[in-house]
């Protein structure tokens, strides 16, 4: 699927895979108990909604074993949910999403903890990624990865986790140079990171809990 810009050549649309842990297990460093579960789900939903609203994205595939997430995301159009089943780890979950997405389109894996994500920032990162068979966006610290991409026909592989940016470079991904303050780079794992994201402007679900 392609989008056309002002009569120029078509721009490819992307299929984006977002892995989401069950809310009861997500974001343990941000809060505790029911507040943690609510915050974890809100962050994931705001990330998913921003990706779905991105003009460069054809479809969002959400990989999760959180049975309540599809209902919570009912107001976000065009999502496809993939059961995490027995997948062990982030990369295994992403691989399930990629299998559902197929190889005939550009594909991207996006972390599900980007509550300040803006659709235009994601579109800019994906536009830059089209120039490379495989690409990666570093987090703000420059050590982790928030977005990994592969163009149509490329084999998918990823290595998310701590210090993943270097691993993705070693696997052949090209680093995409986007501004340090891009919301694509603002993943949230700590209260300090959440505070920074809130200052940028988080999505409505996360904002309601802050």
Compare 196 and 169 and report the one with higher pLDDT: 169
The predicted pLDDT at position 67 comes to 87
The predicted pLDDT at position 11 comes to 57
Q: Is 57 in a helix, a strand, or coil?
A: strand
pLDDT digits (tens, 9 = 90+) for 98-138: 999 999 999 999 999 999 999 999 999 999 999 999 999 99
Other Cβ atoms closer than 10 A to 28? 12
pLDDT digits (tens, 9 = 90+) for 43-84: 999 999 999 999 999 999 999 998 889 999 999 998 999 998
Compare 7 and 188 and report the one with higher pLDDT: 188
Contacts of 28 (CB under 8 A, 6+ apart): 36
**Mean pLDDT calculated for residue range 84-106:** 91
pLDDT digits (tens, 9 = 90+) for 139-189: 999 999 999 999 999 999 999 998 999 999 999 999 998 998 899 999 998
Tokens found for residue 171 = 């696997």
The predicted pLDDT at position 95 comes to 96
The pTM score is 0.90
Q: Is residue 92 predicted with pLDDT exceeding 50?
A: yes
Give the 3-state secondary structure of 156-167.
CCCCCCCCHHHH
Domains and CATH numbers, the chain: 12-202 (3.90.550.10)
The predicted pLDDT at position 6 comes to 41
Q: Is residue 12 predicted with pLDDT exceeding 80?
A: no
87 phi, psi to nearest 5 deg: -65, 135
In the chain, beta strands by DSSP E? 2-4, 10-12, 14-19, 57-64, 79-83, 106-110, 134-138, 145-150, 174-175
The predicted pLDDT at position 191 comes to 83
Task: Tally the C-alpha atoms within 13 A of residue 54's C-alpha that lie toward its C-beta.
Answer: 33
Per-residue pLDDT band at 21 (split at 50, 70, 90): confident
Contacts of 86 (CB under 8 A, 6+ apart): none
| DSSP structure class, residue 61 | E
The predicted pLDDT at position 85 comes to 79
Contacts of 150 (CB under 8 A, 6+ apart): 106, 107, 108, 133, 134, 156
The predicted pLDDT at position 209 comes to 87
Contacts of 66 (CB under 8 A, 6+ apart): 20, 21, 22, 23, 41
């Amino acid at each position: 699927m392609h989008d056309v810009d002002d009569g120029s050549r078509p721009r490819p649309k992307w299929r984006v895979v977002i892995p989401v842990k069950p809310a009861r297990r997500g974001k343990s460093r941000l809060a505790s108990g029911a507040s943690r579960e609510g915050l974890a789900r809100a962050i994931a939903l705001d990330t998913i909604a921003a990706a779905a609203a991105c003009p460069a994205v054809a479809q969002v595939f959400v990989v999760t074993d959180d049975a309540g997430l599809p209902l919570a995301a009912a107001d976000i159009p065009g999502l496809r949910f993939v059961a995490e089943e027995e997948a062990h780890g982030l990369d295994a979950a992403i691989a399930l999403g990629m299998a559902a997405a197929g190889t005939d389109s550009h594909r991207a894996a996006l972390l599900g903890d980007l509550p300040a994500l803006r659709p235009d920032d994601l579109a800019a990162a994906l536009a830059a990624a089209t120039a490379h068979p495989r690409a990666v966006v570093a987090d703000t610290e420059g050590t982790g990865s928030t977005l990994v991409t592969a163009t149509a026909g490329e084999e998918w592989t990823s290595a998310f986790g701590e210090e993943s940016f270097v691993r993705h470079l070693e696997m052949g991904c090209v680093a995409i140079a986007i501004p340090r303050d891009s919301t694509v780079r603002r993943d949230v794992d700590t209260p300090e990171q959440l505070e920074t994201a809130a200052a940028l402007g988080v999505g409505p679900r996360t904002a309601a809990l802050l």
